[in-house]
Amino acid sequence: MAVGIFDSGLGGLTVWDAVHKRLPDVPLVYLGDNAHTPYGVRDADDIYELTRSGVARLFDAGCDLVILACNTASAAALRRMQEAWVPQGKRVLGVFVPLIEALTERQWGDNSPPREVAVSNVALFATPATVASRAFQRELAFRAIGVDVEAQACGGVVDAIEEGDMILAEALVRSHVDALKRKMPHPQAAVLGCTHYPLVEEVFRDALGPEVSVYSQPSLVAASLADYLGRHPDKLGQGEEGVFLTTGDPKRVSSRATQFLRREIAFQPA
């Protein structure tokens, strides 16, 4: 009954943590592609091949359902995988869906025409690859009209978090927020479009100010997954044990993960 969670590195642990708290009885198989992180500076074909390889490993681990807990992978690889690769009986879901559901206050199955929503000025903070894909804007346009999205490519933030340099990560976040505000002085909402960013969410909130609503993905993804599994219990795979896998150095990745989640996390070689 295992569910797979894939990320380019450690950021997806924020999703793992939220899902584990929401669905404590579901074994979770986490795979971090730490050997190739960050994805945000890679081209689309490279991201697709790396993501497909990681998802295939999770299928082999007994997962019928895999969550791409990586916005870059969701933006650059998910649609292509769903259209041409995902085996019958398997399912791969991204992290944009719950986010846009929350932002537009409409369910994913609602196929009515796009309509006006409560917010009109949205700041998107994401990796360079996610920004370049314009996947967020495309999916949002299917459901909402009149929303101005200003995207800020947050170069360096993921690298700093992966290296454990939170002082540098904070400085970069504040610099990127300043750059965004020069383009959109008064955003009503801000989307943290990378699962690494909840690790510095309080810095984003402080830099943006209390008047900006901040949408962060882990809790939204967990709630959406719980709803999905309630409607599709057949997508719980045959795996029975939770495990953490990495393409990187297990000892080093375990140490970083333990620092991030403030609990003992032991990774194994993928």
Please report how many Cα atoms fall inside a 13 Å half-sphere around the Cα of residue 252, on the Cβ side. 10
Instruction: Please identify which of the residues 149, 194, 212, 236 carries the catalytic annotation.
Output: 194
Give dist(CA 244, CA 263) in Å, integer: 13
Q: How many CB atoms lie within 10 A of CB 229?
A: 17
In one-letter notation, the amino acid at residue 5 is I
Q: How many CB atoms lie within 10 A of CB 155?
A: 16
Give dist(CA 120, CA 132) in Å, integer: 21
| 63 is annotated as an active-site residue | no
DSSP symbol at 247: S
SS3 (DSSP) at 104: helix
Instruction: Please identify which of the residues 13, 18, 29, 70 carries the catalytic annotation.
Output: 70
Q: How far is CA 84 from the centre of its chain?
A: 22
Q: Which residues are catalytic?
A: 70, 194
